[in-house]
Amino acid sequence: MATELQELNSMAIAINDESSAAQVCEAIDRIDAVKRRIKEIEVTFKDALIEWINLNGDIEIGTKRYYVGTTKKVKPRDMIRLCEAAITAAEGDFETFADSLSANAFKPGACKKLLGDQWGQHFEETIDEDIKTGKPKKTVQVIDERFVK
């Protein structure tokens, strides 16, 4: 695996404006394959780690303690009834109601359709800046055509 990572690192470093599309695609494909493999290894390792901790107890590494716990997800049963109940419990105080919302309680796209021109009054878009240059930070973004409406 170490040799493969070294090869990938060399391949990534070698990509420049003169690289062919085939070279870039090969690098993308190989890096994606390694990421998938790492995820598979992590799943296998976590299963083994759970068994180990169950037999031997928690393990501490520096300031981190590894233990077996449960995964919990909490979501509203009925968003409309929850909103009605929260507003009623807040006795109509929208500030108190708003304090019960998470940071991203509203879907920006759905609100853009709903609010139209008023959207910008309620949402703020920021562009991350590169700390070194102060220019907009660039990142590779991917659109999977299978999920485009």
Report if residue 145 sits inside a domain. Answer: no
pLDDT of residue 108: 86
pLDDT of residue 138: 80
* E strand or H helix that includes residue 59: strand 59-61
For the chain, first and last CA: distance in Å?
39
Contact between 137 and 128 (Cβ < 8 Å): yes
pLDDT of residue 146: 84
Name the nearest CA neighbour of 123 among 114, 135, 132: 114
> Which range marks the domain in which residue 52 is found?
2-66
Report if residue 128 sits inside a domain. Answer: no
Report if residue 85 sits inside a domain. Answer: no
Report if residue 143 sits inside a domain. Answer: no
Average pLDDT value for residue range 1-8: 85
Report if residue 96 sits inside a domain. Answer: no
pLDDT of residue 68: 93
pLDDT of residue 32: 93
Report pLDDT digits (tens) over 24-74: 999 999 999 999 999 999 999 999 999 999 999 999 999 999 999 988 887
- DSSP letter for each residue of 21-47: HHHHHHHHHHHHHHHHHHHHHHHHHHH
Report if residue 25 sits inside a domain. Answer: yes
Report if residue 29 sits inside a domain. Answer: yes
Report pLDDT digits (tens) over 84-136: 999 999 998 999 998 888 877 888 888 899 998 998 888 888 888 888 888 88
Number of compact structural domains in the chain? 1
Report if residue 21 sits inside a domain. Answer: yes
Q: Which residues contact 127 (CB under 8 A, 6 or more apart)?
A: 136, 137
> What tokens appear for 58 in the block?
């928690």
Residue 139 scores a pLDDT above 90? no
pTM score, two decimals? Answer: 0.58
Report pLDDT digits (tens) over 118-132: 988 888 888 888 888
Residue 149 scores a pLDDT above 80? no
